[in-house]
Structure 1
Amino acid sequence: MEDWIGELDITIEQKKNRSVATKIYFQGALKVIKPIYLHEENFPTFYLSNVGGGYLDGDRYRMQIDIKDNAELSLTTQGATKIYKTLKDCVKQYQTFNLGENAYLAFVGDPIIAYKNADFYQKNIFKLQATSALFYTDILTPGYDEQGDTFTYTQLHLLSEIYIDEKLVLFDNMKLVPNHQKIGEIGFMEGYTHLGSCYCIHPDINQKLIDEISELLYQEQGELRVGISKMSVPGFSLRILSTTTYEIEKLLIIVQKFINERLYNRNVAFLRKY
């Protein structure tokens, strides 16, 4: 059994046309700030926080989010996930998201910053129904190095599994190991330093909508490298290569704004963090 440095459990249910938290549990280094309802939204936004300020050698974290039928939830982080020197045992984080019928989850977090000798493993499991909807993002960023070197972390390993009606529909196993891979070259980062990812699933996503998003990204990408792929279910995955976090966040907001306006007829809430 793992000795958890931080744990977090949240359950969201729909009550009287409003999504509310019926369970909030956290202990150790993970905590959640009291939920807020932005603008006129009828579902909560939670800000997740690591009270320790960063992830250290051998840390273990666990998070489970349960969104019941017809309920909605927006999650973000209060700041970047900072992975510091990890010489003995890698940092591990396990995140599980269970979505009921017609449930919705948007998780737009701040970057994961890997400093020199950082070793980080994250496993995400998403369990959806055919009517569920998901918008999830990740951004990987190298930390500051006094010598000006870019890829000084030991390893970044992000594993994501998405299930719909208990069937595996996406398996994303991304592993960056600078000492054993030519990270900066073709097939990896191709001269870029920052990597953004996005998974978006909704019953109404089709090829036409994906083509529109692709054209929108083409117009906005500038010097970035962007790739979008249709899933085997109504949804798409997105990869963005950049040299700055800001440019990735900008594109992800554009995509989220498009999805919200087209599929939900609502705007993207500004997630104030200061």
Structure 2
Amino acid sequence: MEDLTRLIISHERIENIKNNNLELTKEEVHYINKVMRIKNGKEIFISNGEGSLWKAKKVKNDCLEIIQLKKPYLFQEKENYLLGIAVVIPKSGFEDILKMCTEIGIDFIQPLFSERQVNKNLNFSRKLLRWNSIIKEAVEQSERLWKPSILNGMDIIEWLKSRNNQERVSISITREETIYDLNHWLRKQQEFANKKGGIFWNVIGPEGGWSSKEIDFFNKNNFTFVKLSDTILRTSTASINASSILNQWRIDFKLIR
């Protein structure tokens, strides 16, 4: 595929394009003209973050002409087996988690709150805007066609209570006994995956560890503990490790089906 600059444009904006011309926002004008220095007449790629990719030509500083709007240059079906990382927001490093999990191929990122969390005083709606912007940039950089979703923050116990039968959840742990590592747990899920698809989650806890109340809840509700490593990992390291394991499992699973 050609090595062209990419720009993520929401599906709603793509649907409302008239005469194949896309008017750019101030931020997009700055990116195209000042950062990437795209000249009039040059082509770039436009993606809606939902599997479709178009070629577009810059016709003015604030306008792109979409080439064959009704027939995308490339389309990728959504995965049947979706991957999620649920992370108790650490004091620092969460933005790196967003970037790298996006680049690796995670489909859902769930920020969590827990009893031993260090950083609880967040302006969450403001943070969510910034986090979505970071994810968008990582999608453009990594040339993904599907943009992952970052969900509203939730308490770990309330989030677990809201899971449905199309989701499978493993909880990473360090000092508790477990018979599984994440790879082993994922292989045990393959019969479920064969039948239904669904979302496969790994939950990363706070750097201070899960509280006794949270551990009791996990045990009483039969959530599976998994290990990511024989060493103690920081939240950011654990998130990247788990994301890589999840993504490699999906690649391998599709090859053997």
State the TM-score, normalizing by the size of structure 2.
0.29
Q: More strand by proportion, 1 or 2?
A: 1
Q: Greater helix share, 1 or 2?
A: 2
TM-score when normalising by structure 1: 0.27
